[in-house]
Structure 1
Amino acid sequence: MKFTVDRVDDLQKLDITKLVEESETEGYRFLSRLVDDYKDGTNTFNQPGEALFCIRDKGENIVAIGGVNQSPFSEDNKVARLQRFYVEADARRQGAGSALLKEITDHSRDYFNEITVRTESSKADAFYRVNGFDFDDSASETTHVMNLQK
């Protein structure tokens, strides 16, 4: 399946309603938080190195979204945090997630030394490992780390 990666300059100009609804059906509220935090200015991915990206399918529908922030769990401003990463069920195992993650990590290499994420899903664990993250749960807020300086 063919996908296009776009940097999101203004989340409020995108319709991610389908992603939000699907994620909530799966029991995840982090896309609702993405929308709320963006709207109230809590997190607009505007600090140095931060960015939000989306994936569109050939019909221009947004099928995945995710971003990178300076890690709120580290005093080191060279540590990034993968945030609000979600791929629509129909786009999973089609390359959308890997394309989005590659765009985020490629962008992050210019600003950060490592990127962290936390997941409780075994499928997400496998996804992150296949895409270059190492399992590391030595910190309570992290399960996976990628060294960006390799």
Structure 2
Amino acid sequence: MNQDPYVNSKEVGRVRRLYVSQRVRRFGIGRMLMDSVIAEASKNYKMLVLKTDNPVADTFYRSIGFSVNFNSENESHFLLLPNAH
């Protein structure tokens, strides 16, 4: 996770390169990782974004509260963060 380089705002964080090996998916590992990322991001950002074109990842991110952004070349999903600074 880092500050999103595609927007001119210090309030947007970006998730990059988060992968869970296919053989250990569906055990809650991705959810635990993202819970950690979201908690950490909430300390510094108001929104978290990411980009994926993988339908399985799309379903996963939507299931944990991300919304789809159809109007951006640089992000496919976003999440407004709870308790943002």
Alignment TM class, shorter chain as reference: over 0.9
Runs of 4+ in 1 over 3 A off after TM superposition: none
- 1:123 equivalent to 2:56? Answer yes
**Structure whose alpha-carbon radius of gyration is higher:** 1
Give the Å deviation of 1:74.
0.8
Give the Å deviation of 1:90.
1.5
The equivalent residue for 1:65 is none
Corresponding residue pairs, total: 83
User: Which structure is higher in RCO with an 8 Å CA cutoff and minimum separation 6?
Assistant: 2
Cα distance in 1, alignment partners of residues 22 and 67 from structure 2:
24
Structure 2 residues not aligned, in runs of 5+? none
Given the alignment, which residue of 89, 93, 99 partners 2:32? 99
Judging by fraction of residues, say which structure has more strand: 1
Given the alignment, which residue of 20, 25, 48 partners 1:87? 20
Cα distance in 2, alignment partners of residues 86 and 121 from structure 1:
12
Given the alignment, which residue of 93, 102, 112 partners 2:45? 112
CA RMSD of superposed structures (Å): 1.0
Given the alignment, which residue of 60, 72, 82 partners 1:139? 72
Cα distance in 1, alignment partners of residues 29 and 82 from structure 2:
24
Structure 1 residues not aligned, in runs of 5+? 1-67
Which TM-score applies when normalising by structure 1?
A: 0.54
